[in-house]
Structure 1
């Protein structure tokens, strides 16, 4: 097991941020492998968005949500199946109704165990949070869209189709003009491309661009990314522009006959030069490799 160079991936509740009436976020405070967690309220129910990584983080989230709900019914949803977003769902069993789209439910079954092993190997602090993880099936599974009535507030759950993962979902609160993107958008870092052939090749740069174009047209006032600072609609525009740049720089070099290893090194240098302040440089190589594969399938 490798040394883990980051703070322990623990959800904190000390700096709750209110975004609108009866809508708060537990910000990830810049900690790796901690998502932004949302709690959205209506007159008779609340919806929790993301569980945190593993049962102990989920206990923290559920305790906060139960106190916030004050007797209202609790629902849970997750933006995609990756461990820090969904691997605490078991803790909500019996206390909440878990909703997810069909592709995400399939990802949990087919890829969840492999991701559990992979993430546990990242280091002891991560493995500790993942101890005892079970991957329950969602209570409610929808195909492409689900409108959840919380009482005086309807929240829209929408499967985007394949992008960062096959089962990506966004959560929109229309009356507050708030959008939760999961890992379709991050603040201050290079887009996360989980391109791990032959085990996982579902991420698609081409599809991701199309998803970001559609989301940008919604023009939400507030965008809650999977990780990083809460932002405005410019985050969606910036992410789309980055993905288009990534595609264009990769495909231009492939069109010239450059081999993949050289393309990766060349594009990495170019993107770091453009965004020297961004974190997550390790995701550039997997992103370029993904776009190289999509270049092959395009010609």
Structure 2
């Protein structure tokens, strides 16, 4: 990853769309390291989902959320600890209550500093965005699930268990049929496996697949993926089907005692042939490595 490969990860709040009454999404416009961001309102409070990477992005998000809230109380949550999702939360201090699940809070504390250093190491616009950023500390941490009453609208915060990270959570808006998945689902690209042994091996292809089976069965009306275009239940089905392909093709070759280099090359070529339009081909190898480690476990 280099600055030449990734444009400035700037959140564009001018593109905010109302996808249900009092429910806005700031789409990522398919810019890398920009998440889809949600602003969900009730009669008494407003919840922001994701911050964007760095202070200036988060300041724009907070300004829009404050305008939408018009005096209503503000909450913030993030779907997982990765920098483009959570590393702007310091801007919301004293303005909003930052609420996350226990495993995500643990990830922020134990992995956050390393990820901040790693992302700053990419240089260029990414490092500039992270100037002055501190790893955030949540105001409130919950165990199990959490039902947040915004006034006339309850938003469900639900940890999923290991998938894309150890601390993933999804955000459900039942009355609108909307589901924010974070990076458990993305459109237009191969699933991102943060498989970096020996430093970070918490991603689980097996767990991820089980999570998507459960989410797809619930049949949300609108799926807001971590990155990429919004869609319906098919977004979840497409990622689930890809993970199943990746698992099956990897394990089939693992069972044959094929050498690792040949295994990776074959699976990579096969999946690119099946999904030639998808971006992020570099993540196929990481996914194969993860699933090889989980083989027979």
- Same fold flag (TM > 0.5): yes
Residues 1:26 and 2:26 aligned together: yes
Deviation (angstroms), 1:133: 1.0
> Are the counterparts in 2 of residues 4 and 123 from structure 1 also a CA contact under 8 Å?
no
Q: Distance in 2 between matches of 1:261 and 1:17?
A: 45
Q: Which residue of 2 aligns with 1:152?
A: 152
> Are the counterparts in 2 of residues 24 and 38 from structure 1 also a CA contact under 8 Å?
yes
Deviation (angstroms), 1:143: 1.3
Deviation (angstroms), 1:238: 1.0
Q: Which residue of 2 aligns with 1:262?
A: 262
Deviations 1:39-62 (A, max 9, x none): 000001000000000111111110
> Are the counterparts in 1 of residues 190 and 279 from structure 2 also a CA contact under 8 Å?
yes
What TM-score results when the alignment is normalised by the length of structure 1? Answer: 0.98
Q: Which residue of 2 aligns with 1:290?
A: 290
Deviations 1:209-257 (A, max 9, x none): 0000000111000000000000100111111111010000000001001
Residues 1:195 and 2:195 aligned together: yes
Q: How does 1:61-76 map to 2 (within 5 A)?
A: 61-76=61-76
Q: Which residue of 2 aligns with 1:84?
A: 84
Residue aligned with 2:241, SS: helix
Count of residue pairs brought into register by the alignment: 297
Q: Which residue of 1 aligns with 2:230?
A: 230
Q: How does 1:237-256 map to 2 (within 5 A)?
A: 237-256=237-256
Deviations 1:266-294 (A, max 9, x none): 10000000000001111111000101111
Deviation (angstroms), 1:7: 1.6
Q: How does 1:121-136 map to 2 (within 5 A)?
A: 121-136=121-136
Deviations 1:100-133 (A, max 9, x none): 0000000001000110111111231000001111
Q: Distance in 2 between matches of 1:2 and 1:64?
A: 30
Residues 1:180 and 2:169 aligned together: no
Residues 1:95 and 2:131 aligned together: no
Q: Distance in 1 between matches of 2:4 and 2:82?
A: 18
Deviation (angstroms), 1:148: 0.2
Structure 1 residues 120, 263: closer, same or farther in 2, change over 3 A? same
Q: Distance in 2 between matches of 1:195 and 1:136?
A: 23
Deviation (angstroms), 1:4: 3.0
Q: Distance in 2 between matches of 1:3 and 1:241?
A: 32
Structure 1 residues 2, 179: closer, same or farther in 2, change over 3 A? closer
Q: Which residue of 2 aligns with 1:36?
A: 36
Q: Distance in 2 between matches of 1:270 and 1:257?
A: 18
Q: Distance in 1 between matches of 2:50 and 2:170?
A: 11
Q: Which residue of 2 aligns with 1:108?
A: 108
Q: Distance in 2 between matches of 1:120 and 1:4?
A: 15
Deviation (angstroms), 1:2: 4.3
Q: Distance in 2 between matches of 1:160 and 1:233?
A: 18
Residue aligned with 2:99, SS: strand
- For the aligned residue pairs, the C-alpha RMSD in angstroms reads 1.0
Residue aligned with 1:220, SS: coil
> Are the counterparts in 1 of residues 46 and 72 from structure 2 also a CA contact under 8 Å?
yes
> Are the counterparts in 1 of residues 87 and 136 from structure 2 also a CA contact under 8 Å?
no
Residue aligned with 1:111, SS: helix
Residue aligned with 1:293, SS: helix
Residue aligned with 1:14, SS: helix
Residue aligned with 1:40, SS: strand
Q: Which residue of 2 aligns with 1:209?
A: 209
> Are the counterparts in 1 of residues 155 and 173 from structure 2 also a CA contact under 8 Å?
yes
- Where in structure 1 are there 5+ consecutive unaligned residues? none
- Where in structure 2 are there 5+ consecutive unaligned residues? none
Residue aligned with 2:76, SS: strand
